[in-house]
Structure 1
Amino acid sequence: MTWAPVGSPEELAGSLDRVGYLADEGVATAAFLALRLGRPLFCEGEPGTGKTSLAVALATALDVPMIKLQCHEGIDFSQALYDWDFPRQLLHLRALEAASGAALDADVAERSLYTRRFLLARPLLRALEEAPCVLLVDEVDRADDEFEAFLLEVLGENAVTVPELGEVRAEVPPLVVLTSNRTREVHDALKRRCLYHWLEHPGLDREVAILRRRLPELSQRLAEQVAGAVRRLRAVELLKPPGVAESIDWAEALAALGRTELDAAAAAATLGAVLKYREDAQRVVAGLDTILAG
């Protein structure tokens, strides 16, 4: 199996549109080039700008599996690549002992333990085995330098060696999307291996279009009011500025309450859908009229 042909960024944008992801020209071009050139796509941006959603939408639009590696502090080789299923190995060893009725040949027993049957494939190994697929390496900035170096080696070779089994190489390289919220700077060596794209929050018109696409029952006016208010909230110094997901949540909450206007009362009642910190809510409530007035 190989990648389905995609003729242009516009064609890819159309495919993404059909699965509900409204990609601007920059995003569509970056994703198209990553696919065409076989290069990982490194997406940086503020939380809530659609980095993770892009990987999900690409997998859906291209009709391939999506495999996610969620990075975190302390993530290591065994969590990302593979591990051995120790409980099953132990049960197998006990079964061999019971069946043999005598002393086991140690070499034979060891060889039987380290087979594909007992290998637990983690996201990186699964992506190499199941490609073509989309591999999402989410929040790579949360991992440490050592893991970055390991990741760089795997992505560069599209292959890994399991000492007991040999080399596993992807016949078709996976489409790799790495995301970062820029909690720290990722090393240049990893960025050089990738195509790079910075994702901004969508413009007003595109955010309105996203809201109407996700919530067809939402009126044009309410969508514009929500999108405009969220844009003004992003300009306030908040602990966590709202992303597109919070925009959708806020609009959905208003619709669920049957509100057709975003007035002060409706905003105050539903502020928990868009702001997730008490301090942010307190700061905004004090100037809510200004936020709504624009």
Structure 2
Amino acid sequence: MSGPARVGAEGDVRRLIPDVGSLQESLAAGDYLADIGLATALFLAVHLPQPILLEGEPGVGKTEAAKALALALDTPLYRLQCYEGIDAGEALYEWNYPRQMLGIRLAEVRDIHLEETELFGPEYLLRRPLLQAIEHQGPRPAVLLLDEIDRADAEFEAFTFELLAEAAVTIPELGTIRAAHPPIVILTSNRTRDLHDALTRRCLYHWIDYPGPARIAEIVRRRVPSSAEPIALEAASAITKLRSLDLVKPPGIAEAIDWVSALTVLGVDRLDAHTVEQTWGSIVKNRDDLDLAVAHGADWLVGAGQR
């Protein structure tokens, strides 16, 4: 990676988001409301640059933070959804074997001799998110999201971090590919397992709390602009109360948005028990959770929304 290219990219980003306040405003312009703590953490991840680990309960907006940052920087987002058993091929690259076989057959028909090196050229490469982020040509670095890194195993976690630390990958048939603009790396975790110290020690860290009802209502109204303020606040308050139960899958901000969208389509402007009973499916996505919520009753839930 050349020095001038790196300096040019950094200068471009600094002009775009010169301070934390400007980043907060840019995120808000994309309908992502970040508090000053999260905006500061993201600002540092961009300008240091250093990977950042975002942790928090499901539904607090970790993935959306990466999407909003990419939008604010007007740069691509490459997302790798992690899961148990994911391997390097699914993260980095694979060879397009069907296309290679087609190339061999075409060469046979045309009576052309193909060298092995021709079959393992860039045109036969299937690029996965990590390689796509490394090869991104700018003008600004891409945002690379390693979503739910805690779902991958420890070996994949270690492999991923070493790769990101170098911002390069070696493909045996092609050599080493280095990033002209090392990506801005965001990792998210729901804490299904503890991450290795070697990873967390080298990352910036930010815990995203679940916001209060007023903040949820503000987020919902940005995402569902046709909704009325009272119904957004009542729904946010009700979901906050529902989260106090011992649920398997507590509803998050996404469910609040879904619920208010449904209520708006139904023409509901105030929340009542009957409406809750009709729309449980917008906020409760697990049978055991539904039984628990129903046992407490829609009247109990609505009480929070009408205070």
TM-score interval, normalised by the smaller of the two chains: over 0.9
1:21-55 CA-to-partner distances (Å, cap 9, x unmatched) read 01111110110000011111111111100001111
- The 5 A counterparts of 1:147-158 are 147-158=156-167
- Kindly indicate whether residue 112 of structure 2 is the aligned counterpart of residue 97 of structure 1: no
Which whole-Å CA distance do the structure 2 matches of 1:82 and 1:48 have between them?
30
- Kindly indicate whether residue 98 of structure 2 is the aligned counterpart of residue 87 of structure 1: yes
Q: Residue 168 of structure 1 aligns with which residue?
A: 177
TM-superposed CA distance for 1:96, in Å, is: 2.4
- Kindly indicate whether residue 62 of structure 2 is the aligned counterpart of residue 62 of structure 1: no
1:190-214 CA-to-partner distances (Å, cap 9, x unmatched) read 1122111111111222111111111
- In structure 2, give the amino acid aligned to 1:92: G
1:210-236 CA-to-partner distances (Å, cap 9, x unmatched) read 111112222221111111111111111
Q: Residue 5 of structure 2 aligns with which residue?
A: none
**Alignment partner of 1:210 out of 211, 219, 228:** 219
Which whole-Å CA distance do the structure 2 matches of 1:247 and 1:27 have between them?
21
Q: Secondary structure at the match of 1:276?
A: coil
Which whole-Å CA distance do the structure 2 matches of 1:277 and 1:114 have between them?
47
TM-superposed CA distance for 1:7, in Å, is: 1.2
Which whole-Å CA distance do the structure 2 matches of 1:81 and 1:187 have between them?
21
- Kindly indicate whether residue 286 of structure 2 is the aligned counterpart of residue 277 of structure 1: yes
**Alignment partner of 1:113 out of 108, 119, 128:** 119
Which whole-Å CA distance do the structure 1 matches of 2:273 and 2:135 have between them?
54
Unaligned runs of 5+ in 1: none
Q: Which has the higher mean CA deviation after the structures are superposed, 89-98 or 142-151? A: 89-98
TM-superposed CA distance for 1:124, in Å, is: 0.4
* Runs of 4+ more than 3 Å apart: none
Q: Residue 137 of structure 1 aligns with which residue?
A: 146
- Kindly indicate whether residue 198 of structure 2 is the aligned counterpart of residue 189 of structure 1: yes
Q: Is the 8 A contact 1:263 1:292 kept in 2?
A: yes
Q: Residue 28 of structure 1 aligns with which residue?
A: 39
Unaligned runs of 5+ in 2: 1-7
Q: Residue 43 of structure 1 aligns with which residue?
A: 54
1:88-133 CA-to-partner distances (Å, cap 9, x unmatched) read 11121222233337xx5xxx62111111111111110000001511
Which whole-Å CA distance do the structure 2 matches of 1:24 and 1:89 have between them?
50
- Kindly indicate whether residue 83 of structure 2 is the aligned counterpart of residue 77 of structure 1: no
- In structure 2, give the amino acid aligned to 1:151: T
**Alignment partner of 1:15 out of 22, 26, 33:** 26
Percent pairwise identity: 50
Q: Secondary structure at the match of 1:218?
A: coil
Which whole-Å CA distance do the structure 2 matches of 1:285 and 1:9 have between them?
44
Which whole-Å CA distance do the structure 1 matches of 2:223 and 2:105 have between them?
54
Which whole-Å CA distance do the structure 2 matches of 1:155 and 1:148 have between them?
11
1:229-270 CA-to-partner distances (Å, cap 9, x unmatched) read 111111111111000000011111111111111110011111
- Kindly indicate whether residue 302 of structure 2 is the aligned counterpart of residue 292 of structure 1: yes
Which whole-Å CA distance do the structure 2 matches of 1:218 and 1:113 have between them?
56
Which whole-Å CA distance do the structure 1 matches of 2:43 and 2:266 have between them?
41
Aligned residues: 289
Calculate the TM-score normalised by the size of structure 1. Answer: 0.95
Which whole-Å CA distance do the structure 2 matches of 1:99 and 1:217 have between them?
62
TM-superposed CA distance for 1:286, in Å, is: 2.4
